[in-house]
Amino acid sequence: MLSCERYEMPETLAEALALWTGAPEGAQLVAGMTDILPWAREGRAGDVELPLAIDLSRVAELNGYERHGSRLRLGANVVWQDFLDDPQLAAWLPVMPYCSVWFADDQIRQQATLAGNLVNASPAADGTPPVIALNGEVELCRLANGQLMSRTVRVEDFVTGPGKTTLAPGEIMCSVTVDCAEGYGASFQKVGQRRSLVISVACLAALVKLDASGNRYEDVRLAVGGVGPVPERLRDIEDRLRGEAPDMALIAELAEATADRVGSRSRIDYRRRVVPGFVRAALEEATDRARSARGAAAKKETVNA
């Protein structure tokens, strides 16, 4: 059972930082609360008493998203359901709807934030692989001598182990900035014990872009989660495929080698069989989707012409 001495809902970042800087020992920053409430139960953390919970969900500066050139800044209050319900986000981040639909369920996605998923740093987090694949960075803000300071950290460097990040005392994650991947075909693979509300045993995000001819990979992004202490980009495969024609035999060969990436401490044999299958399936699916995206775009041009 969770109990709170104080529950604050600051409306500006300055208020939130001031509260967090002066927070008593044991205070927590909270957003969707969808992870902390189930955590504070028998068999996990048990009865938890928080001296202060600082709820960030009404901090105006953390709302919404904005595009800067090829990069997209997602405020920390962007919730998982936004990736399904907002067509603009879905177009710019084509991997996110596929990831989101496997994340918890429609109701929890209304509360849970992408930033919260990153900051929790679960090795099985669904959000980290796609964000890493999109060269994600997080913006961490704090107050220093009354001044707002911020730093930017690559998500690959931010998550350092299970539940461990480089978030420093007094810091708040304000945003997640990722590549816009318009025109990419995407896929998200996940396996767990049921369809909704399931924590990944392993998951994998893939994005591919075809060149102007539509016959070769211009870009490939792959990242895997749940098979080691931290999620990983599969850069060797990305590099090998860039410039190549989509070739299922080559993909199968590259996929086979990924079994050795599995560094988990449990269910190793199972994961070793899952990961190559994911790499193959994700690349095939993402390639098909990249082709049909090109087809749809071409059709649109014809219609407009």
Judged by the rule CB under 8 A, the positions of this chain that interact with another protein are 1-7, 9, 32-34, 37-38, 41-43, 47, 50, 53, 55, 57, 81, 84, 97-98, 101-102, 104-108, 110-111, 195-197, 303
Q: How many residues does the chain have?
A: 305
Torsion of CA 87, 98, 36, 30, to 10 degrees: -30
Closer to another protein at the Cβ: 221 or 289? 289
If the CB atoms of residues 47 and 157 are measured against another protein, the closer one turns out to be 47
Distance in Å, CB of 30 to another protein, minimum:
8
Q: How far is the CB of 3 from another protein (least distance, A)?
A: 4
CB 130 within 8 A of CB 233: no
Q: How far apart are the first and last CA of the chain?
A: 62
Q: Which residues pair with 173 in a beta bridge?
A: 140
Find out whether 44 and 38 touch, Cβ atoms under 8 Å. yes
- Of 5 and 211, nearer to another protein (C-beta) is 5
Closest approach, Cβ 98 to another protein, in A, equals 7
Q: Output 109 or 261, the one with its CB closest to another protein.
A: 109
Smallest distance from the beta carbon of 241 to another protein, in angstroms? 24
Residue 76's closest CA among 128, 20, 117, 37? 117
Q: Which two tokens stand for residue 297?
A: 């775009």
Contact status, residue 78 vs residue 113, Cβ threshold 8 Å: yes
- C-beta of 37 vs 144, nearer to another protein: 37
The nearest distance, CB 89 to another protein, in angstroms, is 14
Identity of the residue, 212 or 303, whose beta carbon is nearer to another protein in the bound complex: 303
Q: Which is nearer to another protein, 34 or 287 (CB)?
A: 34
Alpha-carbon gap, residue 265 to 14, rounded angstroms: 42
For 263: left if phi > 0, alpha if psi spans -120 to 50, otherwise beta; the answer is: alpha
Task: Report, in Å, the least distance between residue 178 CB and another protein.
Answer: 20
CB 285, CB 204: distance < 8 Å: no
Q: How far is the CB of 40 from another protein (least distance, A)?
A: 10
Cα gap 128→121, rounded to integer Å? 8
Amino acid symbol at 71: R
